[in-house]
Every structure is written in C-alpha cells, then in structure tokens.
Amino acid sequence: MKGLGITVNEHLLIHQKESPAATGRFTKLLSELIFSAKIISKEVNKAGLVDILGFTGEINVQGEQVRKLDDFANRVLIYRMQRTGVLCAMATEENADIIEVPEDMPRGDYILIFDPLDGSSNIDVNINIGTIFSIHRKISDRPYVSLEDFLRRGSEQIAAGYFLYGPSTVLVYTTGNGVNGFTLDPSVGEFLLSHQNITIPEAGKIYSVNEAYTCYWDERTKKVVNYFKNSVIEGGRPYTARYIGSFVADFHRNLLHGGIFMYPADSKDPAKPRGKLRLLCEVAPMAFIAEQAGGAATDGEQRILDIKASALHERVPLFIGSKMDVEKATEIMQGK
Ligand code: AHM
Ligand code: MG
C-alpha cells in the first residue's frame, strides 16, 4: 500500500540526522508552509463556486494582470509566514521588493522566496496550478537583511519544493538529501509520504516547450527542439510532446515519467529576450529538485544552480529534466 501513513513531520524527524535542515526551526517553517498550502488548496477547490476567479484589476511587478487567486495565495503566505518567528524576510513573484518581517515580530535567520500560484493563466479553466518555494539562510554574522541576502546562487539553497494543486494536492521537496513526495489526505488533513526517494529516469520520453514561439528563437534553440521532435527513444518510438503551460504541473509529470522541459530565451521577443521564468522563485528551486532526483538543469550555457542572481526578478532560459536529455540540449546550445 502506498502512503505508509508517514506524515511530513514524522519523515523529517526520522531523517533528522541525515538532514542539516531538519532543525526544530526548519520543521516549524515547513509546517507553516504546509498549513498555508492547505488554505490555498481549499480555496482553489472552490474556484467557480465563490467569487475568486478573474482579475483584481491590478498589474504586478512582472507587468501581468493579477488574478484574485494569485492575490489570495500571496496574501495567505505573507501573512502566515511572517508570523513563524523563523524568517527574517521574504520575496514573492508578485511584489517588487523584499518583504522584511516587521521589527515588532520575532525573527529568525531563514529567507523564503516563493511563487504563490504558478501557472495562474490556467486558474479560470480548472487546470493544475501550484506554489513553488525556495529557502535560504541569511548571510551570517549580520544583524540586518538586505537584497544581497537574496541575490545568491541556487546551490546555496537549504531547501526547495512545490505544492501541486491537481486531482490531489501534492508536496514535493528536497533539503539536499534526495527528493520525497507527499499527498494530502483530505480526510485527515495530513500530507502522507506517497513518493519516496523520487528519481527521474536518466533519459525521458517527453519534451515540453511552447512551440508557438519558434519565430522568437535563435537557430540553436530551434535545433534543440528539432532534435527532440525527430529523435527516437527506446523501442523505436518518437518522443511525445506535452505542454500544459503550468510549470509546476509540467515539471512534476516529467519528474515522474522522465523528459525535458524547456522555456528558452525568446531572443527576438523584446518582451522576454531571456525567457519568461524567474530564476529565484521558479527556476532555482526546481533545478535543486531536479538535481537531487538525478536530473539536471541549465540555461544552455551553465548549470542553473551556479548562476548568481543579479536581480530579484531576473529571468533565465531553462532546460530541465532527465540528465541525458538536458546534456543533449546543452551540447546543441553550445554548438557541439
Ligand atoms: P506565472 O508564474 O505568472 O503563472 O507564469 C509562469 C508560467 C509557467 O507556469 C509556465 O510554464 C509558463 O508561464 C507558460 O508560459 P507561456 O504561456 O508563455 O508558454
Ligand atoms: Mg510562476
């Protein structure tokens, strides 16, 4: 039987010795994230029944229209997480600047970066969406927190993960010691271990990319995508194409089945010449998970986890998934 009845907290306690992140303070942080995700999940399930679909009328820092559910998820996370006593500051896809924990509240030394509701263009049509999170520790020996604490390499992350609000709600996360997945059992309100030690197949059978943007790509990017379109996998069959347009959902499927997800640079599109996905709140956390599951992630030039962020909302091109597929994409991008 799947599930084994092990909750996330029990799992953390069992593995406490192996994981430097599994301190009481980290457990508190994760527990609060889980509670926030349960609130978001419950609201997502009500979409269509209560007045939560559509736009707020505001434009966010990304220049995108803010959806009501985006705004709800963002507010739940900020409100709950700044009261945990273990964070000093946060950054979210929706807000231009970092959010410091107010001085009259207890502070810790963790930093949380999140995309409250990824894939939000899918909200109104009842397609899977998710919350992505990345956890760092403040640069030590400093009594204050600044932008510098956020502009880090992905390899410095303490933990990263995502909640996927799908047919069931799933939590997948890593503390640098492998990847585990938990499924929310709504009857008891607990996330139970359902995917132990996830490993991504070395070579996949799926490629995921928005091919409608071919006109924006440079020649190398076109060559990469053509490679996956025209190659055969084991058994003499071609790759299969899958693209939901919700990064969490596309990534989760490829993590379990194997494959490559690409959001390349749309070099000829002045709106997003470096692609669309954000390094700190989307790309780096997923790259940490991919590597911990035995996969890889690159921007075509370098390993994602080696990139030092230069701005809070920096965007980077992305090729992520099964190791051999990402290596092939890298080879072609580098003209080999
Ligand atoms: P969001 O965080 O505002 O929802 O934007 C990110 C989403 C990803 O989930 C998805 O992979 C991508 O945008 C889809 O973009 P496109 O419609 O350009 O293919
Ligand atoms: Mg997103």
- pLDDT of 80-113, one tens digit each? 999 999 999 999 999 999 999 998 999 999 999 9
- Residues lining ligand 1, Cβ inside 6 A: 64, 93, 115, 118-121, 210, 245-247, 263, 276
DSSP 261: E
Residue 43: the pLDDT is 86
Cα of 117 vs centre of ligand 2, distance in Å, is 6
Q: Are 88 and 108 in contact (CB under 8 A)?
A: yes
**pLDDT of residue 265 exceeding 90:** yes
Which has more confidence, 304 or 272?
304
**pLDDT of residue 284 exceeding 70:** yes
The pair of three-digit structure tokens given for residue 15, joined into one six-digit string: 């593995």
Which domains are seen in the chain, by residue range?
8-195 (3.30.540.10), 206-333 (3.40.190.80)
Residue 269: the pLDDT is 92
Cα of 260 vs centre of ligand 1, distance in Å, is 16
- Atom of ligand 1 at shortest distance to CA of 250? 11
Tell me the C-alpha distance between 48 and 50, whole Å. 6
In testing the pocket of ligand 1, which one of 64, 122, 263 has its CB within 8 Å of the most ligand atoms?
263
Q: Are 292 and 179 in contact (CB under 8 A)?
A: yes
Residue 3: the pLDDT is 45
- Give the residue-averaged pLDDT of 216-223: 97
pTM of the model: 0.94
* Among candidate residues 92, 82, 84, 167, the one with its CA nearest the CA of residue 132: 92
Q: Are 197 and 179 in contact (CB under 8 A)?
A: yes
Cα of 303 vs centre of ligand 2, distance in Å, is 20
Strand, coil or helix: what is 50?
strand
**pLDDT of residue 46 exceeding 60:** yes
Counting ligands in written order, the one closest to the CA of 60 is 1
